[in-house]
Amino acid sequence: MTGWLGGLTIRTGPGPPTADYLCTHCWYHQRLTGHDRIRYGARDLPLTHRATCPALHPKGTTP
Ligand SMILES: [Zn+2]
């Protein structure tokens, strides 16, 4: 992962394509594999995660 500062990275190649998403706020990592999942899911990963990212949406500390 050297040089990878987070965000969405899609790798295509001789093997199965993979998409990795790394949230730079909470360091949540998710990987998608497969053409369809990447085509329809990868672009939404940052958006869907940002909606639930615990770093961006703190649930509030214990009272
Ligand atoms: Zn996050």
**How far is residue 13's CA from residue 18's CA, in Å, rounded to a whole number?**
9
Q: Say what the pLDDT of residue 42 is.
A: 87
Distance from the CA of 44 to the center of ligand 1, in angstroms?
Answer: 14
Structure tokens at 11: 């790798």
Distance from the CA of 1 to the center of ligand 1, in angstroms?
Answer: 18
* pLDDT band of 61, cuts 50, 70, 90: low
Residues in the chain: 63
Domain ranges, residue 35: 7-52
Chain center to CA of 5: 12
Q: Say what the pLDDT of residue 62 is.
A: 66
**How far is residue 21's CA from residue 38's CA, in Å, rounded to a whole number?**
11
Distance from the CA of 34 to the center of ligand 1, in angstroms?
Answer: 23
Assess if residue 1 is contained within a domain: no
Structure tokens at 7: 């965000």
For residue 25, give the amino acid letter.
H
* Number of folded domains that form the chain: 1
Assess if residue 63 is contained within a domain: no
pLDDT in tens, 1-58: 567 789 999 998 888 899 999 999 999 999 999 988 888 888 888 999 999 999 998 8
Q: Say what the pLDDT of residue 38 is.
A: 87
